[in-house]
Amino acid sequence: MVKVKSYAALQPDKPLDPYNINRRDINPDDVNIDILYCGVCHSDIHMARNEWNNTSIYPMVPGHEIIGKVKEVGSRVKKIKVGDTVGVGVYVDACEKCNNCNSGKDHYCEEGIVLTYNSYEYGTKNITYGGYSKSIVVKENYVIHIPSEMDLAKAAPLLCAGITTYSPLRHFKINNTHKVGIAGLGGLGHMGLKFASSFGADVVVFSTSDSKKEEAFDMGANHFVNINNSNEVRDHLNSCDYILDTVSANRDMGKVFSFLKTDGLIMLVGLPMEPLAISSFSLIDKRKGIVGSAIGSISETQEMINYCYEKNIYPEVELIPISKINEAFDRTINKDVRYRFVIDMSTL
């Protein structure tokens, strides 16, 4: 075991504080990574504050949007070498035996994935700790190659916000024949907008105010709808093939469905804390549907990173020192960020 500096939540109602954790010595198939940057995901806040049905394990070191440099590899590691720039996303292990693991859908492992933090390693009571720390030890199969020429600070949120929006858009083969709505223009929504636009779709952003209108157009939107403006709403009713719903709050889902055309589909990636109220009438009207999507597989995440490198696609980020993490949590809740915080881990 090696002592590693981190920031941790020790209780749900307390701020994150400096805390030393134990990282395991590397196994033959492990990679030891010095962490350079870690994105701040809204789920970090939900987990740290135990807002998801008593699923939180303490002490908790959040962070699953990790960029770092490899400093040590195990004796059986073949694809990664010391000095490589790499990433670690939302999970660090899967059973590698089930149908989903054997068909490129390891993120939907039937035995359950091991999360980068707030999980137990398979068969143990060893808690996994995330990227708000100086280093991390991860199995080779769950490490993503990051081109060293990428903007590494901006690349960090791609490991969650990026793949979470890329995966459903790719799964449904979004292209220039589709009109795609983006519900919510936050950390997830702005990445969904950039991806959908890059795939050639006609993209409309649905928002609750005009405050991000110009930014939406700058990021590739073709249309912008303030859902409180009845004229703008009317112009886009029954028009979308798909809506990528990134909103993590309860609202009138009937209004969201009203923007879909016949056989249209909502792709749900937001995580409201309460169940959504969906009327059957919204579904049977014009054979509309809704489907959920969670992150993406390791291979799909690598594909997404390569695509972003090729197309120069990055999230909009604000770089912070680790000492500002509690302030960043509060600002995220208050929607006072354009559009993702990233921690410079050299400040720990």
Query: DSSP string spanning 138-202?
Result: EEGGG-EE--TTS-HHHHGGGGTHHHHHHHHHHHTT--TT-EEEEE--SHHHHHHHHHHHHTT-E
Confidence at residue 319, expressed as pLDDT on a 0 to 100 scale: 98
Q: What is the pLDDT of residues 66-105, one digit of tens each?
A: 999 999 999 999 999 999 999 999 999 999 999 999 999 9
Q: What CATH number should be reported for the domain whose range is 162-292?
A: 3.40.50.720
Same fold, 2-160+296-347 and 162-292: no
Predicted confidence (pLDDT) at residue 123 exceeds the cutoff of 90: no
Q: How far apart are the first and last CA of the chain?
A: 20
Q: What is the pLDDT of residues 25-42, one digit of tens each?
A: 999 999 999 999 999 999
Predicted confidence (pLDDT) at residue 330 exceeds the cutoff of 90: yes
Q: What CATH number should be reported for the domain whose range is 2-160+296-347?
A: 3.90.180.10
pLDDT exceeding 90 applies to what percent of the chain? 95
Q: Where are the alpha helices (H) located in the chain, listed in sequence order?
A: 42-48, 152-155, 161-171, 187-198, 213-218, 230-235, 253-258, 280-284, 298-311, 325-333
C-alpha separations of 61 from 1, 23, 337 in Å: 17, 12, 22
Which residue reads 């400040």 in tokens?
Answer: 347
Predicted confidence (pLDDT) at residue 327 exceeds the cutoff of 90: yes
Sign of CA dihedral 137, 300, 39, 79: positive
Rounded to an integer, what distance in angstroms lies between the CA atom of residue 193 and that of residue 243?
11
Give the mean model confidence (pLDDT) for residues 53-77.
Answer: 96
Confidence at residue 274, expressed as pLDDT on a 0 to 100 scale: 86
- 236 CB neighbour count, 10 Å cutoff: 18
Confidence at residue 249, expressed as pLDDT on a 0 to 100 scale: 87
pTM, two decimals, is 0.96
Give the mean model confidence (pLDDT) for residues 221-246.
Answer: 97
CB 246 within 8 A of CB 270: yes
Q: Which of 255, 260, 254, 193 is nearest to 222 (CA)?
A: 193
**Cα-based torsion angle of the residue sequence 129, 273, 206, 296 in order, rounded to the nearest 10 degrees:** 40
pLDDT tier at 52, thresholds 50, 70, 90: confident
pLDDT tier at 55, thresholds 50, 70, 90: confident
Which residue reads 């559009």 in tokens?
Answer: 339
**118: its two tokens:** 């707030």
Predicted confidence (pLDDT) at residue 134 exceeds the cutoff of 90: yes
Confidence at residue 54, expressed as pLDDT on a 0 to 100 scale: 78
Give the mean model confidence (pLDDT) for residues 10-18.
Answer: 97
Confidence at residue 308, expressed as pLDDT on a 0 to 100 scale: 98
Confidence at residue 272, expressed as pLDDT on a 0 to 100 scale: 87
pLDDT tier at 250, thresholds 50, 70, 90: confident
The domain segmentation of the chain, as residue ranges, is 2-160+296-347, 162-292
Confidence at residue 68, expressed as pLDDT on a 0 to 100 scale: 98
